[in-house]
Structure 1
């Protein structure tokens, strides 16, 4: 009897840690970048023909990341054990079949369950969920064996703190750049290196030829197709994927110049300037706005000052946008910025920065610094200073940990 009770306790504690840490980590890394998770939800909505729900993507994202974070934290703390385990089980009983559908139909390349911090395949996500749902069901059945960290007197205060921390942390990252950047355009990254993939690790493709003879079609490879046999009639040529290889972190970064034609007064897309911008040995300012119509122009004067600073010092300044040439013309006619415009892919621009607009400083393709519109500094020589991104990341993680654990430790001390 004692042996059975001991095994049950071990299984419950193990399930509590696995499920709790998974929920906490998943909620935390997505709360770092709620807008990124919003874009992922929008991808799902498009594939499910639910574009009418587009406007609710951000509230849905915030609700889900906060719910995951809170449920994971409460489970690890052993607070409100029965309702928490039931809610976790309900979520998993919904998301496990959903991720199975995602794995089968592949509407998105990755589910986004761990944001950009940890990208796993759709099938890996489904298998992970099978483990989590098994642990969640065990916790629902044996919730009494979960040992609470706080007494009933302190539990409401600890729970309220966890909820407020998760919500405020997510909202902070909505209105500011993510406190930690997991994307390939983060500070310190080299964009050309992120665009490169070793040819030996790339997709293995095969060209096949379809020929017909006596009404029968046959597929040939480059090694055996009947190029010198006139009895065969060529039908078609296809390139097929033989083996899927690795993908570069950046696949869709390309810049096309946008210029004003004085002869007819129109704005047009010119040649590709990607290599020119990324190989420029001087500092280059990239103002990023995936949509000029949706741009927050409250801080536009800050960008104008940076543009003047760049012109005075011989540094290029580009406004990258996915908006059409006509929209560029209308927008420039209203705001008269004098910016040099460039066209880029909308998804790439949303990945580069979550702010619309945002500012990125690069040199020879290296990301020196990034700012959201409200944080664009006064354009002095100090704007060009290179910071240590690794140290910055460690400091931020340490401060976040302090903000979360110190209040809980104080509550635990009061609870004695």
Structure 2
């Protein structure tokens, strides 16, 4: 192999690794939280005025994240090289101009390409896609130089396993709470801390005063506004960001009592007692299959001096109608729909708070029997449920062991095939 071919080989393999690792990571962290990616797709649909496609957002999210994961995994394993490289190139040909448009128009805060695991700006996303696009173009030219890790026969089984693994993992994280929780409301998080940002690192803002004179509006700062000139008429005031700073992990966290309208956010977050929060971003879309478990939890809380709230963004009229229909006596509170979707990936779900700390959370099908087991047994954040590295190791073993066994079988079967070929050649030479 001459120096030119060696260089092409190195560049090709490097491009394969860059695209493969990025696609696998991006697909995996979104497959951890398909509902989060669903909400991101819905944001895009809103910006394009295509809200009628909302029902398709979830299946589209699952298919896209698995598709992305498979492209990356196929590249890293070197299987089905030509179709995989073509799909990767098509993928980048679509998303490169799309992310440029997003960076220019800024319809969403971040593209969501790495879910909540790694949030990057829209321009950073575009620059990342430029690199991936170049690598995909290299692979398109020299895909034959990609080294396959499996024979053609074993590659078929590897592909089947990867498809099953990808869809099973994504669907599991739809049915259950996400295996990994990258959101600021994860178990063990302190909500008040995540709402705070150092004032010296926050946005630098100034007040802008708007005055009108002769039907012409003009903006002034605090230093030059015409406070003593009666020919100017005050119109309004706004806040202008001079320099962007750090943002708190949790913004606009507000909970209001349904009956009084009182802001009870600090009351809940500063309470040294246990607070049960039944979270349903919309009662209209809530599953009522396990509603009795929430009723039992509410009764347990009342009997033991704990607080129980049902927090939703549904209208007061619908809440009243829903409560009568289901014969509930919950204390209802109002909150923003987007915030409720961020708090827990279930509708409904249950969160347990104490001193503003997220002690535990459950989806509707996993609510414990607090009457028989008490609350302290579930007020623990240790163990596999919150052990990031332990859970990651289990998933890696589930992913890698079948591939390693398949590779051993591939080596063994390939060796037998080679031995048979040699033996046939020896026998034929005797005649």
- Give the TM-score normalised by the residue count of structure 2: 0.90
Change (3 A) 1:143 1:285: same
Cα offset for 1:210?
A: 5.1
Cα offset for 1:312?
A: 1.4
For 1:408 and 1:95, the matched residues in 2 are separated by 31
Number of aligned residue pairs: 406
Counterpart selection for 1:388 from 363, 382, 385: 382
Aligned residue in 2 for 1:324:
315
Counterpart selection for 2:291 from 300, 319, 331: 300
For 1:199 and 1:124, the matched residues in 2 are separated by 26
Counterpart selection for 2:348 from 357, 372, 379: 357
For 1:26 and 1:131, the matched residues in 2 are separated by 15
Cα offset for 1:249?
A: 1.0
SS in 2 for 1:142: helix
Equivalences for residues 168-183 of structure 1 within 5 A? 168-183=168-183
CA distances 1:277-308 after superposition (whole Å, capped 9, x unpaired)? 11000011001001111111111111111111
Counterpart selection for 2:393 from 385, 395, 398: 398
For 2:394 and 2:84, the matched residues in 1 are separated by 28
Equivalences for residues 4-403 of structure 1 within 5 A? 4-209=4-209, 219-228=219-228, 233-236=232-235, 237-259=237-259, 270-379=261-370, 380-381=373-374, 382-388=376-382, 392-403=387-398
Cα offset for 1:338?
A: 1.4
CA contact (8 A) 1:290 1:349 kept: yes
CA contact (8 A) 1:188 1:389 kept: no
For 1:214 and 1:227, the matched residues in 2 are separated by 17
SS in 2 for 1:347: helix
Runs of 5+ consecutive residues of structure 1 not aligned to the other structure: 260-268
Cα offset for 1:337?
A: 2.1
For 2:295 and 2:233, the matched residues in 1 are separated by 60
For 1:284 and 1:134, the matched residues in 2 are separated by 52
Cα offset for 1:226?
A: 4.4
Aligned residue in 2 for 1:413:
408
Cα offset for 1:74?
A: 0.4
Change (3 A) 1:346 1:226: closer
Cα offset for 1:241?
A: 1.7
Cα offset for 1:68?
A: 0.4
- Give the TM-score normalised by the residue count of structure 1: 0.94
CA distances 1:315-364 after superposition (whole Å, capped 9, x unpaired)? 10101111111111111101112111111110011001111110000101
SS in 2 for 1:247: coil
Larger Rg: 2
Runs of 5+ consecutive residues of structure 2 not aligned to the other structure: 412-431
For 2:276 and 2:251, the matched residues in 1 are separated by 21
